[in-house]
């Protein structure tokens, strides 16, 4: 089968590998679309600390079932589906308590184990989610949506709360959508006007260009000096975490989604003074996948507006290079693995 392989940082090619043979309890899936995640780009550029090489990237995908064992989920050959790409051990303390997203031996497809940028994958049936009539493009956007959705469940967000999302990349935009679903008043900060326009198109109540404006001053103007009830950090940068601390209300909540590599220095007494709650967010729960599929199926949000470009598999390398050099004009990029698939 054709496979996109990162041999080492900045060396990516479409090559031939062996087609997988499903084990007991596994289905054979024909991959239709793959989304390129920031983690995939980091693997390509050598900035993903958990990636080993050579590696098949990818964990945001849609697929058509080729074969599937008898199951109680109603899955059958020909169904278009998506799947949970986080493989947990089931034995560690986190798994035993039900926090499978925080498995201490987690192996995410495309990072610690080979991913979905290939024509076929075998997948345990329990990890597969019926598509409920969604298109292959919509289903390829389910996993990144679950990241923002899960994050907004980490802190209490109620109707009328004021939420600031710092970072308007795909995950930040999905966090915005998730906060709006909870009835919050949501503002989005970013340094790029194009991304802020995208945020407005997904329902943001207002935006802040943090490259031109003093984000903390703007935050206080918006909230009448109170600060935001919830600040969501979706960049993974030291300075944006510090913005969240300064922009949060006393007794407010901060949710961290962005995965950064730089240390952050600050006087921790500010957390005590404001009695801030700081929540990390990692991966998502199986229930998040089901919820997000239902949200998309309801027609209340058009997630395909997130897609900037679709590349054929033969040009997957170009897609990775484009995102590695993204000037902010690209949002979500999909690669069509099944180039003859009509959707």
Tell me 343's DSSP state.
-
Q: Is residue 343 part of a domain?
A: no
Quote the pLDDT of residue 201: 96
Q: Is residue 99 part of a domain?
A: yes
Domain assignment of residue 65, given as a range: 2-146+284-336
Is residue 260's pLDDT more than 80? no
The answer to whether 64 and 80 are in contact (CB under 8 A) is yes
Two tokens, residue 222: 């918006």
Per the structure, how many domains does the chain have? 2
Q: Do residue 186 and residue 204 come from a single domain? A: yes
Kindly report, residue by residue over 268-321, the tens digit of the pLDDT.
Answer: 999 999 999 999 999 999 999 999 999 999 999 999 999 999 999 999 999 999
- Relative to beta strand 228-233, strand 206-209 is unpaired
Two tokens, residue 32: 């239709």
Kindly report, residue by residue over 5-58, the tens digit of the pLDDT.
Answer: 999 999 999 999 999 999 999 999 999 999 999 899 999 999 887 888 999 999
SS (H, E, C) 158-224: CCCCEEEEECCCHHHHHHHHHHHHCCCEEEEEECCHHHHHHHHHCCCCEEEECCCCCHHHHHHHHCC
Two tokens, residue 142: 């389910």
Two tokens, residue 203: 């329902």
Is residue 80's pLDDT more than 90? yes
Q: Do residue 267 and residue 291 come from a single domain? A: no
Kindly report, residue by residue over 198-221, the tens digit of the pLDDT.
Answer: 999 999 999 999 999 999 999 999
Q: Is residue 218 part of a domain?
A: yes
Instruction: Identify the band that residue 265 occupies on the pLDDT scale cut at 50, 70 and 90.
Output: confident
Q: Which among 292, 290, 284, 323 is positioned nearest to 57, based on CA atoms?
A: 323
Q: Do residue 60 and residue 183 come from a single domain? A: no
Q: What is the CATH number of the domain that holds 11?
A: 3.90.180.10
Mean pLDDT of the chain: 95
Q: Do residue 141 and residue 6 come from a single domain? A: yes
Is residue 195's pLDDT more than 90? yes
Quote the pLDDT of residue 343: 82
Tell me 20's DSSP state.
P
- Relative to beta strand 128-130, strand 80-83 is antiparallel
Is residue 242's pLDDT more than 80? yes
> Where do we find the tokens 């679709």?
310
The answer to whether 112 and 50 are in contact (CB under 8 A) is yes
Is residue 262's pLDDT more than 90? no
Q: Do residue 250 and residue 268 come from a single domain? A: yes
103-140: b (≥16 Cβ within 10 Å) or e: beebebbbbbebbbbbbbbbbebebbbbbeebbbbbbb
136/343 Cα distance (integer angstroms) = 7
Is residue 328's pLDDT more than 90? no
Quote the pLDDT of residue 93: 98
Is residue 261's pLDDT more than 80? no
């Amino acid at each position: 089968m054709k496979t996109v392989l990162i041999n080492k940082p900045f060396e990516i090619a479409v090559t031939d590998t062996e087609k997988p043979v499903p084990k007991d309890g596994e289905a054979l899936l024909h991959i239709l679309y793959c989304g390129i995640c920031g983690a995939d780009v980091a693997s390509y550029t050598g900035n993903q600390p958990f990636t080993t090489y050579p590696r098949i990237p990818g964990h945001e995908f849609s697929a058509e079932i080729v074969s599937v064992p008898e199951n109680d989920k109603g899955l059958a050959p020909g169904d278009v589906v998506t799947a949970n790409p986080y493989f947990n051990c089931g034995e560690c303390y986190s798994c035993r308590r039900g926090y499978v997203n925080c498995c201490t031996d987690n192996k995410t497809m495309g990072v610690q184990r080979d991913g979905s940028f290939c024509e076929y994958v075998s997948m345990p049936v329990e990890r597969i989610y019926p598509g409920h009539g969604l298109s292959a493009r919509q289903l390829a956007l389910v996993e990144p949506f679950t990241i923002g959705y899960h994050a907004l469940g980490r802190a209490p967000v109620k109707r009328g709360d004021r939420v600031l999302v710092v970072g308007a990349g795909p995950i930040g935009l999905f966090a915005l959508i998730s906060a709006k679903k909870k009835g919050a008043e949501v503002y989005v900060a970013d340094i790029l006007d194009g991304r802020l326009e995208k945020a407005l198109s997904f329902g943001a109540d207002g935006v802040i260009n943090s490259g031109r404006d003093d984000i903390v001053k703007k935050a206080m103007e918006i909230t009448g000096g109170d600060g935001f009830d919830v600040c969501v950090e979706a960049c993974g940068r030291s300075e944006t975490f510090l913005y969240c601390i300064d922009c949060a209300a006393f007794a407010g909540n901060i949710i961290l989604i962005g995965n950064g590599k730089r240390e952050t220095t600050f006087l921790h007494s500010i957390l005590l003074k404001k009695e801030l709650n700081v929540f990390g967010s990692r991966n998502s729960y199986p229930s998040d996948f089901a919820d997000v599929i239902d949200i998309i199926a309801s027609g209340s949000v058009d997630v395909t507006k997130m897609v900037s470009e679709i590349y054929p598999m033969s040009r997957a390398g170009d897609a990775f290079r484009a995102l590695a050099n993204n000037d902010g004009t690209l949002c979500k990029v999909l690669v069509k693995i099944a180039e003859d698939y009509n959707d």
